[in-house]
C-alpha cells in the first residue's frame, strides 16, 4: 500500500515539477523576448535624431559619431539588460552596421560596422529580415558567442527594410534557465517529500488496522479465541472489527459449551471420565501417597429402563448422582459418571480398611429405595476397587483396573472385588477365545450334541436338546458354559444361535430321511428373541427345512422375565410358525404366576439345581412338586432336567412330570451316536443304570 502511494506521489511530483519548469521557462523566454523587443524598438530614440535616416542615405558617418553612438547604445544595453544592440542595413549592396553597441576592433568602411564576418545562420537570418521585411526571433551564433536574438524589420524608402536588433547572451539565458530548473527540481523534491509523508500517514491509517486485523486472525486461527479488535471506528474497518468480534464471541461460547460437554456428563452434571482422570492425575502429581479408585455399576439398571422407560432410568441415575454428591469430602473426594450406569469414585480412604467402611456407606445410601410411579425400586451396586500405587501409577490404569475388578464383581455376583492381576489374565484369555469364535463359526469348529428327553409315561424318547460344543484347534473341547455367557455379554451370541439352528434343521432333514422324527430343542439367548429379525431368520430356515422341521426354542427364565412386552410379539409369531417354546432353568428367575400365564410357551423346564437336590432336601421335593403343578395349571408340559438317579425319576413320575432329561438317561452325544443309542432302546428307568461320577 505504502509503495503504491509512494510511486503515485513520485509520478505526481515529477509531472508537477516538469510543468513548473515549462511554465517558468515560457515566462522567462517571453520576458527576455519582451526585453529584446523594447530594447530594439528603443534604438532609434537612443541614437541622435535622424541618424538612421542619414546613414541609410549612405552618407558618410564620422568615426567619432559612430563611436559616440556605440557608447550610447552600450550604455542603454547595459541599462535595459541586453547584451548587444545594433542597426543593420544594406548599404552599397552590402549589409553593414549603421550602429551597434559594442563593435569590436574590426576594419571600418565608411565608418559603418562590418558585417562580413557573420556566421552563415546569422547572415541568412538578417538577409531574410532585410529582404522579406519579416522579423526574426531565435538563437543565433557568431564569433562572440551564442545569443537569443531579435531582429525587427523597419521599412524605409521603397519596399526596403533595415534591421533593429537586440541580443541577449545565451549564457545568461541558460543561467536563468538552470536556476528555473533548480527551482523546479527543488519544488518537485519538496512536493515528493510532502507527498511521502502524507502517503505514509494515509497508509498507516489504513494498513495499521488491517495489520492488527491480520495478526488477530492468525492468533485466532492458532486457538486464541479471546482475541478481540478495538471498535472505535465507524467505517468499513469498524464494521469488520465488530463482525470479527461477534464471530469470536460465538466461537468462545461454543468452545465453552464443548469444553463443558467434553468434561462433564450432560445428564447428571458430574465430571465425566476424562475429567475424572484429569483430577486424579492432578492428585497423583501433587504427590498423594495412596488413593483408592472405585468403579461402581448399578446392578440390573437395564431392567429399570426396560420396565419403566428411559425417563425413569435417567431419574434413577440423577438420584444416584445426587446421593453420591451429598457425601462429605472425608468420605468421597471425587464422583464422576463414566458411562451409562457406571460411576467412578475417588474415596478419601488412606488404607484398605477405610475403603471397605466408606464403600459400605456408599452402598447404603445408594440402596435406599427410589419411587418410580407407584412402585419403589431398590438399586444394588457392584463395585471394583483399584489402589494407587499398588495396581497402577497413573489415572487411566487405575480406572481400567477398577473397571476390570467391577467386571469380575458382576460376573461372580460379588458386591465388591479388589483388582487382581491374575484374574485378569484369565479374562484376557477369554478375549482371545472370543476372537477365535469368529473362526470357529466359519471353519465349522462347533459341533452340536444331542441329549435325549424321555416321556415319563411311555418311556419313549420324545425329544432331544441340542447343546453346542466347541472343538478348539489348540485348546481342545470347550464346554458352552465357558463361552456362551461371554458371547452373550459381548453381543456375539447371534452367530452361534444361527449356526446351531441351521445345523439342527439340516440334521432333522437327514434324520427325516432315515425315518427318525424327534422334536429338537435349541437354546436361544434373550437378545435373539428380542429381535424381530431373528424371527425372520427362523422363518426362512423353517421354509428351507420344510416338513422335516420340528423345533422347540428354550429361553432361560431370567431372560424372558425382563423384556416381556417387546418379546411377547416375537414369541407369539414363533408359535404361529409352528415353533414350540420352552422356559429353561425354571425356578431361577422368580417369574410370577400372572406373568407366566401371559407367556405363549408350551413347556417348563425345571432347573437341574432343584431336581438334583431332591435327593437331599425335602424342601426341594415340594418346590419341584409345586413347579409341576404350576406348569400343569397353566397347561404346560413340564420337563425335569438334571435327572441322575432312578429315585428322582420315580419321584418325578409320581408327581406327574411329563418328561425327564439327564445323565441317568444319556449324556449329550453326537448326532450319529444318538441314532445308535435310539436303536439300542429300551429306555425305561428299570433298565437304566445311573451315571457314574466320572461322567460329571
> Smaller CB distance to ligand C2E: residue 33 or 498?
498
Q: Using the minimum distance from each CB to ligand C2E, give the nearer residue, 141 or 489.
A: 489
Kindly state the smallest distance separating residue 496's Cβ from ligand C2E, in Å: 6
Give how far Cα 567 sits from Cα of 296, 529, 560, Å. Answer: 30, 6, 8
Residue 557 contacts which entry, ligand C2E, Mg ion, none (Cβ below 5-8 A, type-dependent): none
- Smallest gap from residue 541 Cβ to Mg ion (A): 19
Cis peptide before 164 (omega within 30 of 0): no
Closer Cβ to ligand C2E, 596 or 643, answer by number? 643
Site residues, ligand C2E (CB under 6 A) = 451, 467-468, 479-481, 484, 496-497, 500, 523-525, 554, 584-585, 608, 641-644, 661-663, 668, 696
Strands 603-606 and 580-586: parallel
Per-residue contact track with Mg ion, 389 to 418, x per CB under 5 A?
Answer: ------------------------------
Distance CA 69, CA 100 (A): 8
Tell me: does residue 658 bind Mg ion (CB under 5 A): no
- In terms of Cα–Cα distance, which of 256, 211, 247 is closest to 228? 247
Cβ distance to Mg ion smaller for residue 398 or 500 = 500
Alpha carbon distance 163, 97 (integer Å): 9
- Residue 583: which of ligand C2E, Mg ion, none does it interact with, CB under 5 to 8 A by kind? none
Buried b (16+ CB within 10 A) or exposed e, 23-54: ebbeeeeeebeebbbebbebbbebbeeebbee
Question: Exposure pattern of 65-96 as b/e (b: 16+ CB <10 Å)?
Answer: bbeebbebbbebbeeeebbbbbbbbbbeeebb
Name which of 584 and 644 has its Cβ closer to Mg ion: 584
Nearest approach, Cβ of residue 452 and Mg ion (Å) = 13
For residues 176 and 502, which CB has a smaller minimum distance to ligand C2E in the complex?
Answer: 502
Nearer to Mg ion, 167 or 641 (CB): 641
Indicate the length of the chain as a whole number: 696
DSSP state of 295: E
**Closest approach of Mg ion to the CB of residue 583, in Å:** 10
Q: State yes or no: residue 603 binds Mg ion (CB under 5 A).
A: no
Which residue number, 88 or 468, has a Cβ lying nearer to ligand C2E? Answer: 468
x/- binding map, residues 503-542, to Mg ion, per CB under 5 A? --------------------x-------------------
Rounded to whole angstroms, the Cα distance separating 214 from 206 reads 13
Query: Least distance in Å: CB of 587 to Mg ion?
Result: 10
Q: Which of 584, 603, 644, 659 binds Mg ion (CB under 5 A)?
A: 584
Q: What is the residue-wise DSSP string for 509-523?
A: HHHHHTT---EEEEE
Choose from Mg ion, ligand C2E, none: what does 696 bind? Cβ within 5-8 Å by kind.
ligand C2E
Q: Contact between 554 and Mg ion (CB under 5 A)?
A: yes
Q: Secondary structure of 588-628 in the HEC alphabet?
A: CCCCCHHHHHHCCCCEEEECHHHHHHHHCCHHHHHHHHHHH
668 binds, among ligand C2E, Mg ion, none (CB under 5 to 8 A by kind): ligand C2E
Count residues near Mg ion (CB under 5 A): 4
CB of 507 to ligand C2E, least distance (A): 13
C-alpha cell at 646: 432312578
Q: How many helices (H) and strands (E) does the chain have?
A: 23, 23
Binding partner of residue 467 among Mg ion, ligand C2E, none, CB cut-off 5 to 8 Å per kind: ligand C2E
CB 545, min distance to Mg ion, A? 21
Beta bridge mates, 446: 470
The residue (of 127 and 613) whose beta carbon lies closer to ligand C2E is: 613
Comparing CB distances to ligand C2E, the nearer of 63 and 412 is 412
- Determine the Cα–Cα distance for residues 97 and 151; give it in Å rounded to an integer: 13
CB of 413 to ligand C2E, least distance (A): 17
Q: Which is nearer to ligand C2E, 293 or 478 (CB)?
A: 478
Tell me how far, at minimum, the Cβ of 450 lies from ligand C2E, in Å. Answer: 10
Find which of ligand C2E, Mg ion, none residue 659 binds, CB within 5 to 8 Å per kind.
Answer: none
Question: Should residue 585 be labelled a site residue for Mg ion when binding is judged by CB under 5 A?
Answer: yes
Q: Which long-range contacts (CB under 8 A, 24 or more apart) does 399-406 make?
A: 399/273, 399/276, 399/277, 399/280, 399/293, 399/295, 399/338, 399/344, 402/293, 402/294, 402/295, 402/344, 403/295, 403/342, 405/295, 406/295, 406/296, 406/297, 406/342, 406/382
We find the least distance from the C-beta atom of residue 594 to ligand C2E, in angstroms, to be 25
Nearest-approach distance from CB 270 to Mg ion, in angstroms: 41
Give min distance, CB of 642 to ligand C2E, in A. Answer: 4
**Of the listed pieces 271-279, 444-452, 583-591, 676-684, which binds Mg ion according to CB under 5 A?**
583-591
C-alpha 412/C-alpha 431 separation (Å) is: 17
> Which residues, other chains included, contact 490 with Cβ-Cβ below 8 Å and sequence gap of 6+?
434
DSSP codes, 65-106:
HHHHHHHHHHHHHHHHT-SEEEEEEEETTEEEEEEES---SP
Using CB under 5 A as the criterion, which residues of the chain lie in contact with Mg ion when the complex forms? Answer: 523, 554, 584-585
Amino acid at each position: 500500500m505504502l509503495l503504491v502511494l509512494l510511486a503515485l506521489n513520485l509520478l505526481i511530483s515529477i509531472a508537477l515539477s516538469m510543468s513548473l519548469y515549462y511554465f517558468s521557462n515560457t515566462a522567462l523566454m517571453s520576458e527576455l523576448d519582451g526585453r529584446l523587443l523594447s530594447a530594439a524598438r528603443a534604438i532609434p530614440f537612443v541614437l541622435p535624431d535622424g541618424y538612421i535616416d542619414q546613414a541609410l542615405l549612405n552618407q558618410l558617418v564620422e568615426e567619432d559619431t559612430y563611436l559616440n553612438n556605440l557608447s550610447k547604445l552600450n550604455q542603454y544595453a547595459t541599462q535595459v539588460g541586453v547584451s548587444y544592440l545594433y542597426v543593420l542595413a544594406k548599404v552599397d549592396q552590402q549589409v553593414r552596421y549603421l550602429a551597434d553597441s559594442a563593435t569590436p576592433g574590426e576594419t571600418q568602411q565608411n565608418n559603418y560596422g562590418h558585417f562580413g564576418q557573420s556566421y552563415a545562420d546569422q547572415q541568412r537570418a538578417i538577409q531574410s529580415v532585410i529582404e522579406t521585411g519579416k522579423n526574426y526571433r531565435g538563437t543565433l551564433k557568431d564569433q562572440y558567442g551564442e545569443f537569443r536574438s531579435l531582429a525587427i524589420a523597419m521599412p524605409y524608402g521603397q519596399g526596403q527594410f533595415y534591421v533593429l536588433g537586440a541580443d541577449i547572451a545565451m549564457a545568461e539565458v541558460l543561467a536563468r534557465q538552470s536556476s528555473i530548473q533548480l527551482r523546479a527540481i527543488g519544488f518537485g523534491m519538496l512536493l515528493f517529500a510532502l507527498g511521502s509523508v502524507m502517503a505514509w500517514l494515509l497508509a498507516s491509517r489504513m494498513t495499521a488496522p488491517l495489520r492488527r486485523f491480520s495478526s488477530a486472525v492468525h492468533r485466532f486461527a492458532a486457538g486464541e479465541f479471546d482475541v478481540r479488535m478495538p471498535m472505535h471506528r465507524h467505517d468499513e474497518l469498524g464494521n469488520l472489527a465488530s463482525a470479527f468480534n461477534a464471530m469470536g464471541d460465538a466461537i468462545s461460547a461454543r468452545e465453552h459449551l464443548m469444553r463443558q460437554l467434553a468434561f462433564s456428563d450432560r445428564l447428571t452434571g458430574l465430571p465425566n471420565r476424562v475429567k475424572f482422570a484429569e483430577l486424579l492425575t492432578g492428585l497423583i502429581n501433587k504427590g498423594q501417597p495412596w488413593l483408592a479408585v472405585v468403579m461402581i455399576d448399578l446392578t440390573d439398571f437395564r431392567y429399570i429402563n426396560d420396565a419403566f422407560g428411559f425417563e425413569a432410568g435417567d431419574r434413577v441415575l440423577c438420584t444416584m448422582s445426587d446421593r453420591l454428591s451429598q457425601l462429605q469430602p472425608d468420605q468421597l473426594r471425587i464422583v464422576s459418571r463414566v458411562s451409562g450406569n457406571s460411576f467412578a469414585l475417588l474415596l478419601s480412604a488412606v488404607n484398605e480398611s477405610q475403603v471397605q467402611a466408606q464403600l459400605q456407606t456408599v452402598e447404603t445410601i445408594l440402596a435406599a429405595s427410589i419411587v418410580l410411579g407407584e412402585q419403589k425400586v431398590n438399586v444394588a451396586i457392584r463395585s471394583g476397587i483399584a489402589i494407587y500405587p499398588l495396581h497402577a501409577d497413573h489415572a487411566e490404569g487405575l480406572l481400567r483396573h477398577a473397571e476390570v475388578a467391577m467386571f469380575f464383581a458382576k460376573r461372580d455376583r460379588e458386591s465388591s472385588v479388589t483388582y487382581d492381576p491374575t484374574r485378569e489374565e484369565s479374562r484376557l484369555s477369554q478375549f482371545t477365545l472370543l476372537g477365535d469364535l469368529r473362526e470357529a463359526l466359519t471353519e465349522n469348529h462347533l459341533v452340536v450334541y444331542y441329549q435325549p428327553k424321555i416321556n415319563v409315561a411311555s418311556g419313549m424318547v420324545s425329544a432331544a436338546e441340542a447343546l453346542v460344543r466347541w472343538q478348539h484347534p489348540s485348546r481342545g473341547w470347550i464346554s458352552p458354559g465357558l463361552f456362551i455367557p461371554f458371547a452373550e455379554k459381548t453381543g456375539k451370541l447371534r452367530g452361534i444361535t444361527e449356526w446351531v439352528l441351521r445345523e439342527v434343521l439340516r440334521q432333522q432333514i437327514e434324520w427325516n430321511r432315515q425315518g427318525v422324527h424327534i422334536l429338537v430343542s435349541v437354546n436361544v439367548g434373550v437378545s435373539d428373541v428380542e429381535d424381530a429379525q431373528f424371527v425372520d431368520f427362523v422363518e426362512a430356515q423353517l421354509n428351507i427345512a420344510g416338513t422335516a422341521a420340528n423345533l422347540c426354542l428354550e429361553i432361560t427364565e431370567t431372560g424372558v422375565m425382563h423384556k416381556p412386552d417387546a418379546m411377547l410379539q416375537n414369541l407369539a409369531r414363533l408359535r404361529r410358525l409352528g415353533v414350540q417354546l420352552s422356559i429353561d432353568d425354571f425356578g431361577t428367575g422368580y417369574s410370577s404366576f400372572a406373568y407366566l400365564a401371559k407367556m405363549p410357551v408350551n413347556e417348563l423346564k425345571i432347573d437341574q439345581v432343584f431336581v438334583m437336590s431332591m435327593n437331599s432336601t425335602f424342601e426341594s421335593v415340594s418346590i419341584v412338586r409345586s413347579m409341576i403343578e404350576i406348569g400343569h395349571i397353566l397347561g404346560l408340559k413340564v420337563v425335569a432336567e438334571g435327572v441322575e438317579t432312578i429315585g428322582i425319576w420315580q419321584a418325578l413320575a409320581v408327581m406327574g412330570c411329563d418328561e425327564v432329561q439327564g445323565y441317568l438317561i444319556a449324556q449329550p452325544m453326537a448326532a450319529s451316536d444318538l441314532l445308535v443309542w435310539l436303536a439300542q432302546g429300551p429306555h425305561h428307568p428299570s433298565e437304566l443304570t445311573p451315571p457314574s461320577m466320572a461322567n460329571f
